[in-house]
Amino acid sequence: MTFLKKRGQHKGENGRVLAIGGCTDYIGAPALAALAALRTGIDLSIVAAPENIAWTINTYSPDLITKKFEGEFFNWDNLKDVIEYAEDFDVIIIGNGLGTEPSTFDFVEEIIERIPQPKVIDADAFKALKDVEIVNAVLTPHEKEFKILTEEKLPTDIKKRASLLKHYADKRKVFLLKGPTDIITDRENIHYNKTGNSGMTVGGTGDILAGITAGLIAQSNDLFNSAVNAAKLNGKIGDYLLKKKGIG
């Protein structure tokens, strides 16, 4: 796994990620995801957000580009424009800070089904996907989000957890279950990630994990190994910061 760009390449050839998200209550979530994706070494990471949210995100970092869409939250009226805009990207992140408006859920369902590129699905998106066919995606739920998505309660035993997770995964739908030990599976393969610490329960770490995952997929087009490496890297960064700064 490397984050060094190759010489002689043009802008965009190292990957382009689009983070679709943001609402009045959760402005920072898609920004964190997009910044994390950018730090993996991709060339472009852009946030697609409702216009009032996007203007605020523009103040966070000069590295962040935003695409502004009408309205206070994503809804059906934005669908055509977002799908057309997403065509130029290698990987789509969706869910971070989207909110829970019913019309946003309708928007999410259509985005997941109609955008063919690899997707990283996180956070609020899980509340919209019970009856949606999901392909070409990494899903990054924690325990409660997994139950929302599947209506299944995860057992406490880690081997039994992995077995249940395998039932829902396949080669084109990889699960990265977040927890004290992350479990990543594409049904055929299972990886347990034990990096990370209790300080990482703070809000925002899941958004960063989604961004790292998307950035690695954009450079490899490998769903399973990108998810494995993202979980490992995210945890190691957390462990490093714990040693340097402590919790808090």
Mention every residue, 6+ apart, whose C-beta is less than 8 A from residue 206.
122, 123, 140, 142, 178
| Domains observed in the chain | 16-245 (3.40.1190.20)
pLDDT on residue 2: 46
pLDDT on residue 248: 61
Chunked into runs of 10 residues, the chain (248 residues) has average pLDDT values of: 53 89 96 98 98 96 95 97 98 98 96 98 95 95 97 97 97 97 97 95 95 98 98 96 84
For the chain, count helices (H), then strands (E): 8, 9
Helix or strand or coil: residue 139?
A: strand
- Backbone dihedral angles phi then psi of residue 145, each to the nearest 5 degrees: -70, -35
pLDDT on residue 6: 56
Query: Model-level pTM?
Result: 0.95
Burial 126-165 (b: 16+ CB within 10 A, else e): bbbbeeeebebbbbbbbeebbeebbeeebeeeeeebbebb
Token pair recorded at residue 173: 């739908």
pLDDT on residue 164: 98
pLDDT on residue 10: 61
